[in-house]
């Protein structure tokens, strides 16, 4: 048998599993936004249109109060990270401070967006422990599968450099780094 006979079933299995995983959100209960929250969400999305950005708005809601909001500003601000969801998180952290934001009960924290978030925004949700994410419109399944393939391709193509000691030294200089090796008598 040649390697092609093994690759086809593996690829088919990956595609099938990806499809199931990508559609698991359909099993979650839906939420209904208040009229005010929905109006603000749509106004933010429309605000993006003024600078010809992709019309997406996002709200970060804690205990039914908006604590952060954002719209796409990638073109307007020439900012690759200017996605609506990232802007909503940044807005909340700027208003509250990182310590207070980190202390929020994550069961009561929701991010709602007009469109299904990208991988970059998903990474921010993971990094900031935002567990409840809802969106008005989902991405096409084929697009999601392509996005998953790009994510896997990244992991196969990433590489490391032979200079990790320099980064470790920088981490150790940070006063709040948990693994900091400090001689207490020298401080």
Which residues, including other chains, have CB under 8 Å from residue 118's CB and lie 6 or more apart?
Answer: 83, 147
Per DSSP, the three-state class of 137 is strand
Q: For residues 100 and 111, give the distance between their C-alpha atoms in angstroms, rounded to a whole number.
A: 17
Sign of the dihedral defined by the CA atoms of residues 75, 76, 78, 79, in that order: negative
Query: How is residue 26 written in tokens?
Result: 């359909």
Query: Are 92 and 60 spatial neighbours (Cβ–Cβ below 8 Å)?
Result: yes
99 is an active site residue: no
Q: Which of 50, 69, 85, 147 is catalytic?
A: 85
Q: For residues 58 and 84, give the distance between their C-alpha atoms in angstroms, rounded to a whole number.
A: 5
**DSSP structure string for 101-136:** HHTS-GGGEEEEEEE---HHHHHHHHHTT--EEEEE
Question: What are the angstrom distances between the C-alpha of 32 and each of 84, 112, 129?
Answer: 20, 10, 22
* Active site positions, annotated: 85
């Amino acid at each position: 048998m040649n390697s092609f006979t093994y690759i086809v079933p593996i690829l088919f299995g990956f595609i099938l599993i990806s499809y199931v995983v990508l559609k698991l959100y359909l099993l979650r209960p839906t939420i209904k936004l208040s009229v005010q929250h929905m109006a603000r969400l749509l106004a933010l999305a429309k605000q993006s249109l003024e600078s010809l950005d992709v019309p997406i708005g996002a709200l970060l809601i804690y205990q039914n109060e908006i604590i952060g909001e954002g719209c796409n500003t990638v073109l307007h601000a020439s900012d690759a990270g200017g996605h609506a969801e990232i802007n909503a998180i940044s807005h909340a952290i700027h208003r509250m401070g990182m310590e207070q934001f980190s202390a929020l009960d994550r069961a009561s924290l929701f991010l709602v967006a007009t469109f299904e978030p990208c991988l970059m925004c998903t990474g921010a949700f993971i990094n900031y422990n935002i567990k409840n994410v809802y969106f008005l419109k989902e991405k096409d399944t084929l697009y999601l599968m392509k996005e998953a393939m790009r994510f896997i391709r990244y992991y196969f193509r990433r590489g490391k450099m032979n200079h990790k000691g320099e980064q470790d030294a920088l981490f150790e200089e940070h006063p709040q780094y948990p693994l900091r090796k400090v001689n207490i008598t020298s401080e």
